């Protein structure tokens, strides 16, 4: 008969944290959320340390270049999704690496021959109204004009009117040249009372926009995650099929860390991929692996060369792997089991291998539970899919705004490589759904609230670092009745006005 594990497969929602001694040092301003991303020896510093313990999921509907830039500016890291052609993924990595604080690569561009209807559609899709008009409609084409909401009246103007008839032409624009500093660009904005300053090269090609609203950009992003060359850090997802072509292209684009993206990482396919990368690049390319849910999976991938291990099968909000295949494990149980194995491996080898909790996070306090249970950082999809910076469309359904969110195991993603079983190249059945999530606005606004909750909870646990939280936190199982008790109950709530 099969091996039977006696422990119950539990989720984060079945636990609460017990308060610890809150000392006078335990105030939010003293809390450090820095955490290692990749393995390191005891007493040495990890090659990459996150300033907040968040990374974005390797998903088409989550991790595009805009979200990668914004998350890195706030201290986390994105893994650009790998379910796309190699060159387009490499180009997304380049876009992040080329980003300069305050200098924004345009993501909304049209040609003079487009029409007002195209402008309105683009504004609705992207959520902002500054559109660069270039000769070929690309972000780096020759700049011919600019369109903002002040250039047209959607309710009165003919929607078939061509852009060239209402755009602000190049001759009337104030522009800056590539090479000027951010302070010089801001001075031009101030002198000419501009909202937007296009930055062009010597051939009049658009390079960046500098916005008045980003004037205090650096001050507002003190935890920016960047390397010694001052470029933002960015990761990328890879699969176990085309890695021999994909990895070199991503390395050339400047990627900082890779992660093998698979629903089930305990496989010889991942072992071969890890060993090839480590041998081909003499161990200089950092690469995580997973997903696993127990000690066997952790040990197997670490021995194969993984720099971090991703934990979780079937716990994502759009994942139906457990429903379809009957495999997986409650996320809380999986994290605690793998964390214990990680600590045993540390004692045996002197090597600390970070683990990433992927899935199962419903409420913000679940994030603290995951960290307390041993996770070093958290990978999230649904959380980031709600924001302006995610690549999916914002739609209005009824009286609510939503954003599209689909799983990499859905037919829409066509990401059969993630579920590679060594057979034919197609998706036999879906392991993810196509859905919507409530639109939440800008990442920075929401992230501040979430991090505030995490810091407040850590203060109540008597911990000022994640390492202290893991050593000192106390957790308890809760009954279904106590879960009810934990929310508002036995009262009549006032209607929100």
Name the residues annotated as catalytic.
319, 418
Q: 451 Cβ partners below 8 Å, 6+ apart?
A: 33, 52
Q: Please state, in angstroms and rounded to a whole number, the distance separating the CA atoms of residues 14 and 426.
A: 37
Q: How far is CA 195 from CA 9, 174, 322, 387, in A?
A: 54, 11, 50, 23
Greatest CA separation found in the chain?
79
Q: What does the chain come to in residues? A: 497
Q: How many CB atoms lie within 10 A of CB 102?
A: 19
**Residue 446 burial by CB count (10 A; 0-12/13-18/19+): exposed, middle or buried?**
middle
């Amino acid at each position: 008969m099969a091996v039977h594990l006696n422990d119950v497969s539990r989720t984060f929602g079945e636990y609460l944290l017990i308060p610890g001694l809150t000392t006078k040092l335990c105030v939010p301003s003293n809390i450090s959320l820095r955490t290692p991303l990749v393995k390191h020896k005891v007493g040495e510093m990890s090659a990459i340390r996150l300033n907040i313990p968040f990374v974005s999921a390797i998903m088409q509907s989550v991790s595009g270049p805009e979200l990668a830039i914004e998350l890195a500016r706030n201290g986390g890291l994105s893994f650009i999704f790998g379910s796309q052609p190699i060159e387009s993924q490499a180009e997304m990595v380049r876009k992040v690496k080329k980003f300069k604080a305050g200098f924004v690569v345009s993501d909304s561009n049209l040609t003079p021959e487009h029409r007002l209807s195209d402008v309105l559609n683009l504004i609705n899709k992207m959520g902002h109204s500054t559109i660069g008009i270039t000769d070929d409609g690309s972000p780096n084409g020759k700049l011919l004009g600019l369109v903002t909401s002040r250039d047209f009246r959607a309710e009165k103007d003919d929607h078939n009117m061509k852009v060239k008839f209402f755009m602000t032409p190049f001759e009337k624009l104030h522009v800056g040249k590539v090479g000027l500093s951010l302070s010089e660009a801001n001075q031009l904005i101030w002198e000419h009372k501009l909202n937007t300053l296009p930055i062009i090269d010597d051939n009049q090609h658009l390079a960046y926009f500098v916005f008045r609203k980003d004037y205090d950009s650096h001050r507002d992003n003190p935890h920016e995650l960047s390397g010694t060359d001052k470029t933002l850090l960015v990761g990328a997802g890879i699969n176990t099929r085309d890695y021999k072509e994909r990895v070199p292209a991503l390395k050339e684009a400047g990627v900082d860390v890779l992660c093998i993206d698979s629903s089930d990482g305990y496989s010889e396919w991942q072992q071969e991929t890890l060993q090839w990368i480590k041998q081909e690049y003499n161990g200089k390319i950092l690469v995580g692996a997973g997903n696993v849910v127990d000690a066997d999976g952790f040990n197997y991938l670490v021995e194969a060369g993984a720099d971090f291990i991703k934990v979780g099968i079937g716990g994502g909000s759009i994942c139906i792997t457990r429903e379809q295949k009957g495999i997986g494990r409650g996320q809380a149980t999986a994290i605690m089991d793998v964390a214990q194995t990680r600590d045993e491996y540390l004692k045996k080898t002197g090597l600390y291998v970070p683990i990433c909790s992927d899935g199962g996070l419903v409420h913000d306090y679940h994030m603290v539970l995951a960290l307390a249970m041993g996770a070093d950082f958290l990978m999230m999809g649904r959380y980031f899919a709600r924001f302006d910076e995610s690549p999916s469309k914002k739609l209005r359904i009824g009286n609510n705004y939503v954003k599209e969110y689909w799983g990499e195991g859905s037919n829409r993603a066509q990401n059969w490589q993630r579920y590679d079983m060594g057979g034919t190249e197609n998706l036999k059945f879906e392991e993810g759904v196509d859905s919507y999530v409530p639109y939440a606005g800008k990442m920075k606004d929401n992230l501040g609230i979430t991090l505030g909750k995490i810091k407040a909870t850590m203060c109540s646990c008597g911990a000022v670092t994640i390492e202290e939280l893991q050593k000192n936190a106390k957790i308890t199982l809760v009954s279904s009745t106590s879960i009810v008790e934990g929310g508002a109950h036995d009262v009549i709530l006032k209607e929100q006005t």
